[in-house]
Structure 1
């Protein structure tokens, strides 16, 4: 059977040098960093992708190991494998560049928990990072690549340097990319449980799978947090091997962040026409690449705890965008009404209580399941 490389895990990354920061940024020196990864699909081999995209100094990797996870920072030593890069264990990644490991020929099963351990001997500078990784990571002093458990480890709520895993799968395997903001990435869902909206939707599929390219606080039109969505199209969707479908949720932060950043001074959000123009350009780029594009309504957020985020002007523009998405003039192949899936029926601008993570802006695990259940699987004929 002919095979090809397909993305099985993705983590969209953020520039730590941005002026506006919602998440802790940091670097490492003489540290072993251990991070868990759960591939969404399987194959007969894998390769790991590492990034120094936003680094300002060379990233020295003094060793990289992959193993199956037990619990917490623990690994099964019997499964420990040394990763190679062009046949060597040590590699230096120049600023702005990425690397892919040599293939590891072993069976990979969808949903299994793998652990990537990196030894970083030098000063990495601020790391290229992801805001919401699959699970909490760990860092300890020195080279502890083969340690069964990392004792007295520092916990890492953000991901570092890892952008994905590819698997060698049967030719013709097709996947979807979930693309957008925190509702895609899974902010405020339970770490390590695969409870994000895309992960829960993935479990409903019988063919293919979904990889997550969300960035919490990301915007359609404006950089920070992360490059804006239109700027991420090629790198985070078109270059993903195996992609045939895209699921998009974006717009919350375009409407809310201007006020939150400027608070207590009023911040002006983009107009609905601005967002409609951007969403149209987004869909057009995907269609030009031959992809099927599934859009979604912009979720509710009235009453959020974040000062300045919820404004009358922003709510009015959200309503106009959602009315356009609910009509016949939008350019998407289909629209999923994610807003309605989790809105309070009596106050539709708010997340219903049983789906509210507590901040009025993000859904909890049950809310993410409601989002996943709102998607007609006929739209994902992968």
Structure 2
């Protein structure tokens, strides 16, 4: 069966070649769906220690992601979205993951662009690699390895990957083991997505769009227990598998741009949601940081930017309208309790309650996921249930993210 799938994958790649022959770049086969995604943001300081600001030179990065949809052929979306100079990738590979920085060498393939093993990404741009005959199943882990011979400058990143990235000195893009990869960090660099194509179209993907709650802060590193992961697993167990894409950024706000907490939801919605291939539904869970950072955060270098409940509701309405105009089903999730966290105050709780009441009762979303009710402390609904609290009174733990996924009515994802 594996050989048959590999042959079909190769056929999908070879069929679209133009009449100009093998030297020509193959056209894209139809029916691409995003099977994994993350939201890039600027290479500024972050919640975690990483390598984004200094970038890379004569170094190899090895990064592991888990897809939530399968297909016969695979391609990778790389990004230099926040670079100020062209990014040269000297060489890149993709393979199935063997664990802890190692790969399965029999699955190793080069990643090319325009059939060239070395390629350049313009500043501010994304690049999609040529298709690779790497058949994938939902929940397969793949390893993407990038080698940079020359200096990259500061690197476009996703700081809180909740996953381990490995670094080696020199060119180790084809190494089967992780022996050379002696450094690690919990951040992804230059990755935006993994896309798959099959002989028949995959079901429309779901984007989970939000802040650190969606991103998975508080979950176990390398365990894939974030809310979108748990939702994808629940859908598969129910016999309705679909890709669920995590487009959360820690600290992100709906209405306010930040040089290190990411562009606002309003600004990044086009690229992180509407431009994703094969998407049919978006779940929006965002607003806690607009409320909690209204008074500023001097320790984070964030100035006060007061945001009212009415402003948040107006911004949600704009996101709803843009999603519907693109033909997407749009689902609203209520803002989780944050009592006893640094965000807590009577004014902040009043804003959260007002926005949540609008989400629940206005009828403006196509459907609602009441994540706030699902994770609230029965003794005090302004606080997280201790069973679901990662310890900071703000972010759920693994059990909390499972409870969030359980709160979704799967019929609403039709």
State if a TM-score over 0.5 links the two structures.
yes
Measure, in 2, the Cα distance between the counterparts of 1:124 and 1:176: 33
Measure, in 2, the Cα distance between the counterparts of 1:64 and 1:82: 6
2:277 is aligned, of 223, 236, 241, to 241
Measure, in 2, the Cα distance between the counterparts of 1:50 and 1:237: 16
1:287 is aligned, of 309, 321, 324, to 324
Measure, in 2, the Cα distance between the counterparts of 1:266 and 1:32: 37
Q: What does the per-residue CA deviation read over 1:245-290, in whole Å, with 9 as the maximum and x for residues that have no partner?
A: 1111000100112335146999463111111111111111111111
1:345 is aligned, of 354, 361, 378, to 378
Contact 1:189 1:196 in 2 (8 A): yes
Measure, in 1, the Cα distance between the counterparts of 2:133 and 2:34: 16
Q: What does the per-residue CA deviation read over 1:278-333, in whole Å, with 9 as the maximum and x for residues that have no partner?
A: 111111111111111100111111112x4xx3222111111111111221x24100
Measure, in 2, the Cα distance between the counterparts of 1:4 and 1:171: 5
1:182 is aligned, of 212, 223, 229, to 212
Q: SS of the counterpart of 1:218?
A: coil
Q: What does the per-residue CA deviation read over 1:91-138, in whole Å, with 9 as the maximum and x for residues that have no partner?
A: 121211111111012311111111000001111111100123262110
Measure, in 1, the Cα distance between the counterparts of 2:408 and 2:119: 43
Q: SS of the counterpart of 2:192?
A: strand
**Structure 1 residues 266 and 133 mapped into 2: Cα distance closer, same or farther (>3 Å)?**
closer
Q: SS of the counterpart of 2:271?
A: helix
Cross-structure match for 2:403 = 370
Contact 1:58 1:92 in 2 (8 A): yes
Give yes or no for the alignment of 1:210 onto 2:240: no
Cross-structure match for 1:297 = 334
Give yes or no for the alignment of 1:164 onto 2:193: yes
Give yes or no for the alignment of 1:80 onto 2:76: no
Q: SS of the counterpart of 1:122?
A: coil
1:8 is aligned, of 27, 31, 35, to 35
Cross-structure match for 1:322 = 356
Contact 2:253 2:264 in 1 (8 A): yes
Measure, in 2, the Cα distance between the counterparts of 1:266 and 1:111: 41
Instruction: Please report the RMSD computed on the Cα atoms of aligned residues, expressed in angstroms.
Output: 1.9
Contact 2:162 2:186 in 1 (8 A): no
Q: SS of the counterpart of 2:99?
A: coil
Displacement of 1:3 in angstroms is 4.9
Q: What does the per-residue CA deviation read over 1:217-236, in whole Å, with 9 as the maximum and x for residues that have no partner?
A: 11100012111001112111
Cross-structure match for 1:198 = 228
Measure, in 2, the Cα distance between the counterparts of 1:58 and 1:292: 37
Measure, in 1, the Cα distance between the counterparts of 2:303 and 2:104: 54
Residue correspondence of structure 1 range 59-98 to structure 2 within 5 A:
59-98=87-126
Cross-structure match for 1:128 = 156
Measure, in 2, the Cα distance between the counterparts of 1:106 and 1:28: 28
Contact 1:269 1:313 in 2 (8 A): no
Displacement of 1:21 in angstroms is 4.4
2:265 is aligned, of 217, 229, 242, to 229
Q: Aligned pairs, how many?
A: 375
Measure, in 2, the Cα distance between the counterparts of 1:33 and 1:262: 34
Displacement of 1:77 in angstroms is 1.4
Q: What does the per-residue CA deviation read over 1:6-45, in whole Å, with 9 as the maximum and x for residues that have no partner?
A: 100101011124xx74344331111100000111100110
TM-score (ref. length: structure 1): 0.94
TM-score (ref. length: structure 2): 0.87
Gaps in structure 2 of 5+ consecutive residues: 1-11, 13-28
Give yes or no for the alignment of 1:173 onto 2:200: no
Contact 2:168 2:182 in 1 (8 A): yes
Contact 2:216 2:226 in 1 (8 A): yes
Displacement of 1:171 in angstroms is 2.4
Measure, in 1, the Cα distance between the counterparts of 2:349 and 2:48: 26
Gaps in structure 1 of 5+ consecutive residues: none
Q: SS of the counterpart of 2:85?
A: coil
Runs of 4+ in 1 over 6 A off after TM superposition: 263-266
Displacement of 1:71 in angstroms is 1.3
Give yes or no for the alignment of 1:22 onto 2:59: no
Cross-structure match for 2:69 = 41
Measure, in 2, the Cα distance between the counterparts of 1:214 and 1:268: 21
Measure, in 2, the Cα distance between the counterparts of 1:21 and 1:91: 28
Cross-structure match for 2:368 = 335
Q: SS of the counterpart of 1:258?
A: coil
Give yes or no for the alignment of 1:58 onto 2:58: no
